[in-house]
Structure 1
Amino acid sequence: MAEPQLLPGNRFRAYRNVGGSPKFVCLATATTLTQTNAFEDATVADCDDPLAIPDRKSVKTSKSWGGRFAGSMAADHLAEFQADNDSEDPVPYEFRIDRTALQGGGKWTGNIFVENFEIAKNNNGIVTFTVQFRGDGPLTWVPAT
């Protein structure tokens, strides 16, 4: 069996795509992208064996996505995050796996709404931030070229 090619954390990055030019969210030291499926369930009896315990059958009804990114705050980036937080329109973002196509590389693209924007400090230390977001519409995978 071949050794797996591990993905270093700096190879999974978030990009803010405003004005058609993706800009690396260089301040984010932690990035999470979550995809969720919703289902409706039915209990299906085995008509050939009425005494058998029925099985659950699921039907996929919707999918959604969201996540968060967090890191240390630089004052010159505060306005960008605040603009995304204040926006009534979704903001385009990319989440890149920086590898070749053969190594599983590519990017997810989609629009987000900021649900929570938090800045914090601890004992006169570095100011940190967390952006919790929800996807709006499809999340599209584009393989690396």
Structure 2
Amino acid sequence: MTTPTLLPGNRFRAYRGDGATPTNWAFLCLGTSVTLTLTNAFEDATVPDCDEPLKIPVRKSVLSSTSWGGRIAGQVDATRLAKLRADAESQTPVLYQFRVDQSAANGGGAWTGTVFVENLEIAKTNNGIVGFTCQFRGDGALAWADAAA
């Protein structure tokens, strides 16, 4: 029996682009939970069988659009909070990258795209460490690039 090679959580990471050319990527060091959601929207039609009109029609779906988004959560320090706050206040999308840190043969690569921050939540409990949750929506295409061999 072949067993899968599991991907440790520290091998799926989020990075923030700095807007320079070429892009310098900053690891969201304290983002301990990263979620990336890819969504397809469809238009449906009920299609009859023209050769057998008494047959029950079937649904046919046509992809009408794609979208993506997600959330990053974890602990925050003041320096990184300032960048997250700037992203939340930005009226232009910010470049982010989501890396699967493996070789191409093992499914590695990265999604890259621009995001708008929908909400940024900062919280603490019982005088503990300050945490954050950043909900974002993708703006435009999300590109995948395979890792180096």
TM range, smaller chain: over 0.9
3-state SS of paired residue (2:83): helix
Q: How large is the RMSD of aligned CA atoms in angstroms?
A: 0.8
Separation in 2 of the partners of 1:76 and 1:35? 30
CA drift of 1:2 comes to 2.3
CA drift of 1:119 comes to 0.4
Which of 115, 120, 141 is equivalent to 1:117? 120
* Length-normalised TM-score, structure 1: 0.97
* Length-normalised TM-score, structure 2: 0.95
CA drift of 1:76 comes to 1.9
Which of 125, 129, 146 is equivalent to 1:126? 129
Determine the structure 2 residue equivalent to 1:98: 101
Separation in 2 of the partners of 1:126 and 1:118? 14
Separation in 2 of the partners of 1:136 and 1:92? 10
Determine the structure 2 residue equivalent to 1:8: 8
3-state SS of paired residue (2:5): coil
Q: Deviations over 1:77-111 (max 9, x none)?
A: 11100000011110000000000010000000000
Unaligned runs of 5+ in 2: none
Separation in 2 of the partners of 1:142 and 1:48? 45
Determine the structure 1 residue equivalent to 2:38: 35
% same residue = 63
